[in-house]
Structures are given as structure tokens and as C-alpha cells.
Chain A
Amino acid sequence: QKEVEQNSGPLSVPEGAIASLNCTYSDRGSQSFFWYRQYSGKSPELIMFIYSNGDKEDGRFTAQLNKASQYVSLLIRDSQPSDSATYLCAAYTGGGNKLTFGTGTQLKVEL
């Protein structure tokens, strides 16, 4: 089992809709979780992080964490074509020294 798992997609949503991206992790000791966005050929850029159970909102983005079920999700409201990218979920694993990434979910926002 991979330490951080994501559905590779592509996930297609119409412009203006809510995009929901999911991630599960296997290390129960993981405490901190990150969502990065990566455009093709570019470096990952941080969208937000979360470490407490529940929801965390930042503009159009909401991260949700459920430690009991070991999943993290990212909601993007009012999706725009510029949101089309690969979204990477990451968690600190192995005692906290390593940030482990999922393979990413490709999001396509269609006009």
C-alpha cells in the first residue's frame, strides 16, 4: 500500500462547479498534510496545509481532514479554467522527516 494515495484522474468539472479531490494515507502517525498545485512542466506550488480534524478554508479552497478515516480532501469552489492542473497531496511520514507525495490528480475545468 502506498503511503499517500490519490486517484490519478482526470477529473473533469464544468466551469463554476465544485471540484472535489481526495487523498488517503496509511501512516496513522502523520500529523501534517499539504495540497500542492502543479502545472505541466512547472514546480509544485503550495495551496494550503491542514493538521487539525475538520475544515480549513482559504478563498475558494477548502481542505478537509479526517484522521480517524485517514483521508484528506480539497474542495475548489467556482472552478475556473486556470485551476486545470495536477493536484498533489502530501503528508509527513516516517516519524516526520519525510514529506511523501501522492501521484497527483489531474483536474480539467471545462468551459
Chain B
Amino acid sequence: EAQVTQNPRYLITVTGKKLTVTCSQNMNHEYMSWYRQDPGLGLRQIYYSMNVEVTDKGDVPEGYKVSRKEKRNFPLILESPSPNQTSLYFCASSLGQGAGSPLHFGNGTRLTVT
């Protein structure tokens, strides 16, 4: 089954403790992206990657890191999480960009930082 898999689904952590949210897709998609979703603010892009070893900042990259060493994986790293990073996170992928390449979303990771 074609899908984007994120893990974990739920994560509670404390301020400053490094964490990684994994994302993997099995559709051979070139484009991958991370979003966070907050009430009233909608989905905001954190980072995106157009191909292996090619990543770029989205709208809200501060406090986050990503890497794209393999086509299928695009982990999101929080080196020193803070409470303002409490949010619902989505990984997404697409074949490319544009009308013929809609984003496919993972199931989300609900992160709480205390």
C-alpha cells in the first residue's frame, strides 16, 4: 500500500531533550516536506526537500533540523525542544510539484513539550 509513515504518533517530552520524528514513504517520491499545524494558524511548512541531499527552509524552520540521505526517509530533528514546539506535525510527499503532484500526508505526530 502506498503510504507515508510517521513515527511516533504521540510523543511527550521535556524541554531540551533531543528528539527525532521519523518519516518514510514508499512511493519513490522526490519531494518531501514537514508541516506543523496549530489552532488558528493552519498548516505551516517547516522544511522541504526536492531530492536526496537537497533541503530548504519553509516558513517556520527555527528550532528544527532535517536531513535527506535517502529518497524514502526525511526525519525531523528537534535538537532542544521548547514548549512552543508543542504541535501536530505532518510529513508529506509528492512525486514533484504542481498540479499533477498533490501532497500525500502521513498520519501525524502529536508532540507535547513540557
Contact = CB atoms under 8 A, between A and B. Distances in A.
A50 B107 CA distance: 25
B74 interface: no
Contact of A92 (B43, B44, B98, B105): B98
Nearest to B108: A43
B40 A103 contact: yes
Interface in A62-99: 88, 90, 92, 96-99
Contact of B33 (A31, A46, A99, A102): A99
A41 B44 CA distance: 16
Interface centre among B40, B42, B48 (most CB of A within 10 A): B42
A103 B37 CA distance: 9
A101 B97 contact: no
Contact of B48 (A41, A45, A98): A98
Interface in B31-75: 33, 35, 40-45, 48, 50, 56, 58-59
A30 to B, nearest CB: 11
Contacts of A101: 35, 42-44
Interface of B: 33, 35, 40-45, 48, 50, 56, 58-59, 90, 97-99, 102-108
Interface of A: 8, 31-32, 34, 41-46, 49-51, 88, 90, 92, 96-104
Given A50-B99, A88-B43, 18 more contacts: A32-B99, A41-B108, A43-B90, A43-B105, A43-B106, A44-B90, A44-B103, A49-B102, A88-B42, A92-B98, A96-B98, A97-B56, A98-B59, A99-B33, A99-B103, A101-B42, A103-B40, A103-B42
